[in-house]
Structure 1
Amino acid sequence: MSASTAVLRAELRLFLREPFSLFWIVAFPTVLLTILGLVPPFREPDPELGGLRVIDLYVPVNVLVAMLMAGVQTLPPVLSGYRERGILRRMSTTPVRPLSLLTAQIALHFAAVLGSALLVVAAGRIVFDVALPGHLPGYLVALLLGALSALAMGAVVTAVSPTIKATMVVGSVVFFPMMFFTGVWIPVQTMPDLMRTIVEYSPFGAASQALHQAAGGAWPDVVHLGVIAAWAAVLIAAAVRWFRWE
């Protein structure tokens, strides 16, 4: 077994011992969708939405909530904890590189996001009769790019925060505006034109639109995918530039 595989297995065991993190990533988005679906008007077709229901719009939104939870709320404290306790520094003196540990954490959080997305889509379909994504390849591309942006954003939060407490503060400061951009309080598709145009140039506003378009059966707009990819590239570059092992 390679060193990287051993690290991944060890991190998986530790990851599964964090029920609160797993709840917020995997279960909370589905719980939130269920609560929203209990609002009667949200289950009624809206002529202003082209016959769609508000609950139809909230399925992609809650997929994005899972990304935010993983990338901005749960991943940064783990990475900051490893750095603050000197684990990364000590690993640098062994054959196992700190990058192996970071890669394992990112892979585990990414897998949790995918599991959460599957659960949200399934709950929407089974409980509220929300149609399955009409353009599955486009939906997956938007989901993968959105998750990459969220995890890269979490890496930046870790990079600019010297301690675990600072990471939690910075993560919260980033988290709540991003919740607005995903459309949690107001679905992006129902925002006024000017506000929607502005929001669409954020990573999660663009991801919300891309997922919505793919759910409706169309390939996501190239502009929206380009915005998500550009944000991911910028955030990854910033994380690489600013991250410190100790």
Structure 2
Amino acid sequence: MNDFDGLRALVTGGASGIGRATAELLASRGARVAVLDLDPGSVDEPLLAYEADVSDDASVRRAVAAAAAELGGLDVLVNNAGVGAQGTVEDNDDDTWHRVLDVNVVGMVRVTRAALPHLRESSHAAIVNTCSIAATAGLPQRALYSASKGAVLALTLAMAADHVREGIRVNCVNPGTVDTPWVGRLLEAAPDPAAERAALEARQPTGRLVTAQEVASAIVHLAGPLSGATTGTALAVDGGMQGLRLRPAGR
């Protein structure tokens, strides 16, 4: 498919995991793609790489301006950069709460704010935010992370309402547990990594982790011109975790 021919996309957190899979899929579908990341050293052609810290407004503005200049504008923004956190409300101090909310929520605000003047010039403008199943399901040991992603869901809906009459669509994807380097590090830190992986797989009705490519496919679907009537939508990519309530196997 070449449905993104002539379109220009910007993906944050695009050097690895979901962001990298999304950037590569967009490029394969015809888009010219710029990646923003804290460490974009692994990004190679045809992707364009820019170093940026979404928690630093000046850094974001410089990178977005440079990317838009080299691409000749922007049509698609994928707000994917984020960090994780574990624990109950007792387990993370104020500094950690401020850092995670700053990256996961205000970081999206900073990048979107810098990109909006360019998106307003596009006839196919779309923003897709990476949210999470944690925004819609109560997960144990994820209080801070869930709070940040709940804010992303609400932010997505508010942005969609604010910008729909400017011709800018805003949607989000809600992945379940995705087999990414971050999840890999969590598993390595567990007392029994194999048992922890099995538990994560078991809580998804499909019985396996979601792949980065599956999330990327959903993001690209929402970002594409063929989804021109879709805005203010949260698309679950979670192996059925959000909506299915299965009986135990064999019953």
Question: Is the TM-score greater than 0.5?
Answer: no
Considering fraction of residues, name the structure with more helix.
1
TM-score under structure 1 length normalisation: 0.36
